[in-house]
Structure 1
Amino acid sequence: MPLALVAARHEFPGKTLFGALVLIPLILPPFVGAIGVRHLLGRSGSLNALLSDLGLIDAPLDLLGDGGLFGVILVEALHLYPIIYLNLLAALANLDPALDEAARDSGAGAWTRFRRVTLPLVRPGLFAGCTITFIWSFTELGTPLMFEFRQVTPVQIFDGLKQMETSAEPFALTVVMLSTATLFYVLGRVLPGVKGVAASAKASRGDSSVRLGPVAGILAALLFGTVIGIASMPHVGVILASLSVEGQWYQSILPRAFTLHNYTEALSHPLAIGSIRISLFLAAIAVVLDLVVGVIAARLIVRTKIRGRAILDALCMLPLAVPGLVMAFGYVAMTLEWPFQGPMPGWLAFVLSPVLPQGTFASLNDGPLAWAANVLGADPNPIPILIVAYAVRRLPYVVRSTVAGLEQTPVDLEEAAHGLGAGKVTVLRRVVLPLVAANLVAGALLAFSFSMLEVSDSLILAQREADYPITKAIYVLFERLGDGPGIASAMGTWAMLLLACTLAGASLLLGKKLGAVFRA
């Protein structure tokens, strides 16, 4: 919140640069960032080595805390704080400065104005950002796996995959996770004072940012620089790990020897090359599906008066709140039950057995869609399920960016085209799509890059090495002895560059509306 307040209301040297750098945590998947944090804060990591060299400690400290719990919390906090920042920045940009000025003229101090005016009006943005942050951290699978911290619900579900046919525990844990995520999502939409409180506080005049003096400007830059420096720690760790020679970064502040071998291996190792090819294919198909569905959904939400538009909007945003782990687990569980495998449920058999011929009932009772499970199930061929999972998970990015574009496009242009005799398809192709092209590109970039680096679906659904996407390959390589962690770090660095380019492009195209993409 301090970062958003300073950025929204003040001008200071380097503000544009700091505004871009503050998004750095988003360019590194948190489970990859865990590699860097382990190198920096582990018992044999850089910080312990530094403290030992300074004579401040005699034995290594457990900086990751309680078997890795603090490491998980740290990585998640550093990765997700930009979500809250973006939502707050968008909410603050919509506030009418006259409200704050009126409170000041009435004698209210800075703290009173913040507590009584600003905070209630930005509550929707704050709650939206906090909701996404809580849900994503609560359902994160990759980060605790990298820290080997298994006392969390996602890892318990992941470990229970092998017991799905004999134990109900993973199903119960999945229901708990889904219920919790859904509860917070619903609260964000129906809780009084959270939804719609800022509707009457839209800005009625232009920018009213205050230019800070030299000392205050330096302090503001120092605040941003400190946060950015701490948030960049996992990135630095991953890059150094990717450049270190195998076994040469142990109980030392920096690697003792550097090499580019890991990068060449990341582009030539059979597992790495295959995973890159698979991820490119999956993400490309998923983006095409998202563009088709997203444009149609956005048009219905913005340009029509049909009943249920709000419900459609909520459903399109739901994948942001529904954990990917739950969706992936559901796909696997679905193929293990009737009608894909096994007998039909007892209640259904009780209803159908008296009314169906014995032969027909027998064929229906014995997994009538077993052929589909054998072809499209997660074990033999996860590609179709992965495409659907990626497309569903990233649909909100395309819908929200397209909605933002349509809201900025005058409907008069479409009406004029209709008046000249153009059909709906022609208007969509010749008028609407060119006008929202920048928004479509931004949404597609976000959907593509985040699909490339999807963690939960990839770890659960891809069972064979030939089907591993990038994130599953990084996890498997990191677990291997030898140069595996170095290659995994190099692949993580390539992933970081991909996300950096994507977010930079999306930020240029969407501006302050980028925060709306990460708002459920």
Structure 2
Amino acid sequence: MFKAERTTKAGRTRPTTMTVATVIAGSVIFILLAIPLIVQVITAFRGPFLPFGVSSSRWTVENFVTLWGLREDFWAVLGSTALFVGGSTVLSLAMAFGLAWVTVRTDAPFRRVISVLVIVPFIVPPIVKAQAYLLMLSPESGVLNQLLAALPFTDLVIDPYAFSTMIVIQSLTNVTFPYLMIVPILTNMDGALEESARVSGASWPQTLRRVTLPMLWPGLLGVGVLTFILGLGSLEVPLLFGQESGQSIFALKLWTLISAGAGQLPQYGLAAAWGCVFLVITTFAFMLYLRATRDAERRASVSGKGFRPTTMKLGAWRIPVLIAIFIFTLLTAILPLFALFWSAITPYPIAFSLEALVEQTHFTAFAEVLGDPEFWASLGRTLIIAGGSATIASVAATVLAYGIARSRSTIRTRSMDLFASSSVAIPTVIAGFAMFLTFMVINPVIPLAGTIAALTIAYSYRVSIAYRAGYSATLQIRKELEEAAVISGASRLEGFRKIVAPLLMPTVFAVWIQMFILGTNEFTLPAFLATPESRPLSVYMYAMINPRSAQLYAPDQGAAMALIFTLLVFAIGYGLQWALSRRAIGRANRRPRFAMEPASLAALPDPEAADTVTIALKRRRASSRT
């Protein structure tokens, strides 16, 4: 165990440099997570406009009294949100579990292709997916309604603004997230237990109910809670589809309260009260998840002997399963992208036909988008904000994760660990509104409101993603490497920087790529924070497809911009993944099996440190061989 303090000549103790770095990282995370939420709570109890800087502000519970006075609206919002988010979560989990089961536990053909097709919608920005579904379901020109009208013996037309349609659309946009989390759970489950149940005479439904689901329950519950929180904070589908039937959905309600119309003041205090209520709900949901999964190891099925993830033969179900997957791919990838492309090459919404394809299509919208200076400016802002926020979150989270992982388990360290993991319990819409209030409050002193810096700080609130990855990766590194460096005279910070950090870099870079892609796709946070001078590409694209944007409204250019945006995100994401994989292969070919860079050994302050660490590593290899 490393000592956290050094003794001075006067007998006093002072913190080490690594301790100072850990404190700084923890302070950054505290600023990112705690201060905006504290400002929101203060705004809820101090109003009626902003909590500070306004002469009429005073401590009061008036906002909660007003909220209770509107209890009919309160219960309507609570019920609509529960139905919308809960229904979409259940559908998303059902589809994700089915797809994961097919790709991991069955002998279905084209399983690799299916897994790629399921991941493709993750690359498409959420606002682009919402726009594509809106075009696809247009009553007059939507390609899906055209296909349904062409079917015999039916005149079904899907209403895109119906509440049930919104639930289905939201579930389709969120399938990839639970799928990516369920796949490793199924991969690590021993199929021998299910085989034993079937040999004992249990039917397939009985095996699923009595063996499979009880074993998967902790993991599925966690995925369900996180999917629920993700759906609760999503603004894209309610904003585009819910103007008529979805006014009572929480995300849209919060947006409406602060987006006051002409002659009205934004109701920040009431919106803060709404946010506090739903933050309590998500906190209880997150604590329920922690309580339900605290004994997850009791259901572990992976052992060192006899583990074999078996596959189930589909038999006669192979064709129906492939048809179901084709329909899913058609609804989540093929038709939405086709609807975007058709909207981009037509001057106004028209139904698809060969005659329209020949006579009324044009490609000028793509040229206009590429020639638009605001497109390139907003794209540049998007890359700066996404890259900066990913860097802040990754660096702060990695340093703090190392400090906590290498410290004694105390109430303080456990509390810090839980706090650093808590951003997953904060819906995006609440985080965006809390950041908006924070920058409004501090703007007279620190003018950050509406700037690129404010957006970069707000995007960094997803720091828990990087923290959990860094914490897990740190636990996989043996302490003997750092102990050998300390014995040789290196400080704890030098041991971290020259030995541990190079070993953590693959994980950190992979997390950075994930957070960068999330940042480029983000719409909810800038919807609360961006101005015309700082808006990223997602907000500018929404202005192109929003009829209320007046002179900016150009649906064909908006569709063309959406396609270009999707291709750019796809190219950047997979380009970074390719660079990471090539770097990993190159490092694996150059370095020895103990995964230590020679440069890290040579850079130690003591000339004998390299030999000391080398001896420790050789002993480790010898013991592992034994």
TM-score range, shorter chain: 0.7 to 0.9
Offset of 1:441 from its aligned partner? Answer: 1.5
Partners in 2 of 1:232 and 1:76 — Cα distance? 14
What is the TM-score when the length of structure 2 is the normalising length? Answer: 0.67
Pick aligned residue for 1:5 from 87, 101, 104: 101
Partners in 2 of 1:35 and 1:145 — Cα distance? 10
Offset of 1:148 from its aligned partner? Answer: 4.8
Q: Deviations over 1:58-103 (max 9, x none)?
A: 8x9352243xx34432221111122222222222233334433443
State the secondary structure of the residue aligned to 1:210. Answer: coil
Pick aligned residue for 1:471 from 532, 538, 559: 538
Name the stretch that deviates more: 446-455 or 294-303: 294-303
The alpha-carbon distance between structure 1 residues 250 and 48, as it changes in their structure 2 partners (threshold 3 A), is: same
CA contact (8 A) 1:238 1:492 kept: no
Q: Which residue of 2 aligns with 1:329?
A: 433
Offset of 1:154 from its aligned partner? Answer: 1.3
Partners in 2 of 1:52 and 1:223 — Cα distance? 20
The alpha-carbon distance between structure 1 residues 200 and 72, as it changes in their structure 2 partners (threshold 3 A), is: closer
**Which one has the largest radius of gyration?**
2
The alpha-carbon distance between structure 1 residues 175 and 398, as it changes in their structure 2 partners (threshold 3 A), is: same
Q: Which runs of 5+ in 1 are unaligned?
A: 341-368, 511-520
CA contact (8 A) 1:283 1:387 kept: yes
The one-letter code matched in structure 1 to 2:203 is G
Partners in 2 of 1:136 and 1:499 — Cα distance? 21
Q: Which residue of 1 aligns with 2:455?
A: 386
Partners in 2 of 1:15 and 1:417 — Cα distance? 47
Pick aligned residue for 1:182 from 283, 289, 306: 283
Offset of 1:221 from its aligned partner? Answer: 4.3
The alpha-carbon distance between structure 1 residues 20 and 9, as it changes in their structure 2 partners (threshold 3 A), is: same
Offset of 1:458 from its aligned partner? Answer: 0.3
CA contact (8 A) 1:33 1:238 kept: no
CA contact (8 A) 1:31 1:142 kept: yes
Pick aligned residue for 1:204 from 274, 278, 303: 303
Offset of 1:293 from its aligned partner? Answer: 0.7
Offset of 1:160 from its aligned partner? Answer: 1.2
Q: Deviations over 1:104-161 (max 9, x none)?
A: 4544333222212221121122112211222222222122212252332211211211
Partners in 2 of 1:35 and 1:165 — Cα distance? 27
Q: Which residue of 2 aligns with 1:160?
A: 257
The alpha-carbon distance between structure 1 residues 165 and 61, as it changes in their structure 2 partners (threshold 3 A), is: closer
Partners in 1 of 2:290 and 2:553 — Cα distance? 48
Partners in 2 of 1:27 and 1:309 — Cα distance? 36
CA contact (8 A) 1:124 1:197 kept: yes
The alpha-carbon distance between structure 1 residues 336 and 483, as it changes in their structure 2 partners (threshold 3 A), is: closer
The one-letter code matched in structure 1 to 2:254 is I
Would you say 1:127 and 2:224 are equivalent positions? Answer: no
Partners in 1 of 2:417 and 2:568 — Cα distance? 29
Q: Which residue of 2 aligns with 1:252?
A: 352
Would you say 1:450 and 2:522 are equivalent positions? Answer: no
Q: Which residue of 1 aligns with 2:423?
A: 319
Would you say 1:79 and 2:176 are equivalent positions? Answer: no
The one-letter code matched in structure 1 to 2:432 is A
What is the TM-score when the length of structure 1 is the normalising length? Answer: 0.79
The one-letter code matched in structure 2 to 1:383 is I
Q: Deviations over 1:199-257 (max 9, x none)?
A: 4414114443337477565555444333333222564245424642321x413368634
The alpha-carbon distance between structure 1 residues 384 and 181, as it changes in their structure 2 partners (threshold 3 A), is: same
Pick aligned residue for 1:496 from 566, 583, 592: 566
The alpha-carbon distance between structure 1 residues 145 and 112, as it changes in their structure 2 partners (threshold 3 A), is: same
The one-letter code matched in structure 1 to 2:544 is L
Name the stretch that deviates more: 35-44 or 315-324: 315-324
Offset of 1:13 from its aligned partner? Answer: 3.1
Q: Which residue of 1 aligns with 2:444?
A: 370
The one-letter code matched in structure 1 to 2:286 is Y
The one-letter code matched in structure 2 to 1:466 is E
Q: CA RMSD in A?
A: 3.2
The alpha-carbon distance between structure 1 residues 96 and 244, as it changes in their structure 2 partners (threshold 3 A), is: same
Q: Which residue of 1 aligns with 2:59?
A: none
Q: Deviations over 1:239-285 (max 9, x none)?
A: 424642321x4133686344443333333323322211211111222
Name the stretch that deviates more: 280-289 or 302-311: 302-311
Q: Which residue of 1 aligns with 2:46?
A: none
CA contact (8 A) 1:4 1:89 kept: yes
The alpha-carbon distance between structure 1 residues 407 and 154, as it changes in their structure 2 partners (threshold 3 A), is: same
The alpha-carbon distance between structure 1 residues 392 and 168, as it changes in their structure 2 partners (threshold 3 A), is: closer
Q: Deviations over 1:365-416 (max 9, x none)?
A: xxxx7333xx22x2xx4323211111113x2332233334334444444444
Offset of 1:487 from its aligned partner? Answer: 2.4
Map 1:353-368 → 2, pairs under 5 A: none
Partners in 1 of 2:130 and 2:283 — Cα distance? 27
Partners in 1 of 2:215 and 2:193 — Cα distance? 10
Q: Which residue of 2 aligns with 1:349?
A: none
The alpha-carbon distance between structure 1 residues 116 and 65, as it changes in their structure 2 partners (threshold 3 A), is: same
Partners in 1 of 2:323 and 2:478 — Cα distance? 42
Number of residue equivalences: 467
The alpha-carbon distance between structure 1 residues 287 and 411, as it changes in their structure 2 partners (threshold 3 A), is: same
Partners in 2 of 1:186 and 1:389 — Cα distance? 24
The one-letter code matched in structure 1 to 2:403 is L
The alpha-carbon distance between structure 1 residues 187 and 507, as it changes in their structure 2 partners (threshold 3 A), is: farther
Q: Which runs of 5+ in 2 are unaligned?
A: 1-96, 582-626
Pick aligned residue for 1:46 from 134, 140, 143: 143
Partners in 1 of 2:568 and 2:425 — Cα distance? 24
Partners in 2 of 1:152 and 1:407 — Cα distance? 41
Name the stretch that deviates more: 108-117 or 125-134: 108-117
Partners in 1 of 2:562 and 2:168 — Cα distance? 18
The alpha-carbon distance between structure 1 residues 33 and 312, as it changes in their structure 2 partners (threshold 3 A), is: same
Would you say 1:225 and 2:329 are equivalent positions? Answer: no
State the secondary structure of the residue aligned to 2:445. Answer: helix
Offset of 1:169 from its aligned partner? Answer: 3.1
Would you say 1:296 and 2:399 are equivalent positions? Answer: yes
Q: Which residue of 2 aligns with 1:103?
A: 197
Pick aligned residue for 1:88 from 154, 170, 182: 182
Would you say 1:146 and 2:240 are equivalent positions? Answer: yes
Partners in 1 of 2:394 and 2:283 — Cα distance? 26
